[in-house]
């Protein structure tokens, strides 16, 4: 993704959804499916929800799920897809610039799945805020590309790839009341635009707010 880092984030992501990512994969994130399978459904929030695949999957599992994204186009498509599944009351979406405002309320699960951007994004502050919005017993799952895929080594600025230490610092651990459940590098198969296949590395951090 080649981008001018000074470009306005709303304009950048609108153009991305209008010209580059025009359809959804329709698949939820494997790491989320694995982790949420062990949790009791409650209120969930996905930060940077894109076309809503993860929020819709959570709603299908019984969660009251909310997604927010800076792109109005992505949000409109996510709403339409939730309605197609008959889930418009359980999978809700709103347009929101998380660098400016965080959705209201507290949650049993908050996810930041590849919430990474080549343009301005107050990512660490957003993740820190998310940790503060967990209900007692609630989980925060942060998943991030740890390195660019081999097919876009030159196109992607290395600054958007966080280290594990950086992820833990963003979450704000160690902190009283927050327990680290997992902090690990996980791999998954990926396929590039020319059909090239590679194993891709992600940082996975899962924390839980302690019961009081």
Q: Which is nearer to ligand SAM, 68 or 131 (CB)?
A: 68
Q: Could you say which residues in the range 45-104 bind ligand SAM, by CB under 6 A?
A: 48, 50, 68-71, 74, 96-99
- How far apart, in whole angstroms, are the C-alpha atoms of residue 207 and residue 203? 13
Q: How far is the CB of 136 from ligand SAM (least distance, A)?
A: 26
Tell the burial category of 185 from Cβ atoms under 10 Å away from its Cβ (0-12, 13-18, 19+).
exposed
Residue among 152, 149, 145 nearest 167 (CA): 145
Q: Which is nearer to ligand SAM, 113 or 205 (CB)?
A: 113
Residue among 83, 73, 68 nearest 113 (CA): 68
Q: Which is nearer to ligand SAM, 20 or 176 (CB)?
A: 20
Tell whether residue 9 is a contact of ligand SAM (CB under 6 A).
yes
Tell whether residue 156 is a contact of ligand SAM (CB under 6 A).
no
Tell whether residue 203 is a contact of ligand SAM (CB under 6 A).
no
Q: Which is nearer to ligand SAM, 18 or 165 (CB)?
A: 18
- How far apart, in whole angstroms, are the C-alpha atoms of residue 196 and residue 182? 30
Q: What is the torsional sign of CA 91, 182, 144, 127?
A: positive
Please report the beta strands in the chain, taking only residues with DSSP state E, as ranges in sequence order: 43-47, 64-69, 91-95, 107-113, 134-145, 178-191, 197-209
Tell whether residue 167 is a contact of ligand SAM (CB under 6 A).
no
C-alpha torsion angle, residues 64, 69, 74, 75 (rounded to 10):
50
Q: Which is nearer to ligand SAM, 126 or 173 (CB)?
A: 126
Tell whether residue 13 is a contact of ligand SAM (CB under 6 A).
yes
Q: Please choose, out of 55-63, 113-121, 179-187, 193-201, the segment that lies near ligand SAM by the rule CB under 6 A.
A: 113-121
Q: How far is the CB of 51 from ligand SAM (least distance, A)?
A: 8
- How far apart, in whole angstroms, are the C-alpha atoms of residue 170 and residue 193? 32
Residues that bind ligand SAM (CB under 6 A): 9, 13, 29, 48, 50, 68-71, 74, 96-99, 113-117, 121
């Amino acid at each position: 993704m080649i981008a001018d880092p000074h470009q306005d984030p709303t304009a950048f992501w609108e153009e991305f959804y209008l010209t580059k990512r025009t359809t959804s994969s329709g698949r939820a994130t494997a790491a989320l499916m694995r982790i949420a399978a062990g949790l009791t459904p409650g209120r969930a929030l996905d930060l940077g929800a894109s076309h809503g695949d993860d929020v819709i999957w959570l709603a299908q599992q019984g969660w009251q799920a909310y997604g927010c994204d800076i792109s109005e186009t992505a949000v409109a498509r996510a709403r339409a897809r939730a309605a197609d599944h008959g889930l418009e009351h359980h999978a809700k979406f709103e347009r929101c610039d998380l660098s400016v405002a965080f959705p209201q309320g507290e949650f049993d699960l908050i996810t930041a799945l590849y919430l990474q951007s080549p343009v301005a994004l107050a990512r660490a502050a957003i993740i820190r805020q998310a940790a503060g919005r967990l209900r007692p017993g609630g989980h925060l799952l942060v998943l991030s590309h740890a390195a660019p895929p081999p097919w876009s080594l030159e196109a992607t600025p290395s600054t958007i790839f966080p280290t594990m230490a950086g992820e833990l610092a963003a979450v704000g651990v160690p902190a009283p009341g927050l327990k680290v459940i997992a902090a690990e590098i996980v791999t998954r198969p990926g396929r590039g635009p020319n059909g090239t296949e590679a194993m891709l590395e992600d940082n996975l951090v899962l924390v839980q707010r302690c019961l009081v």
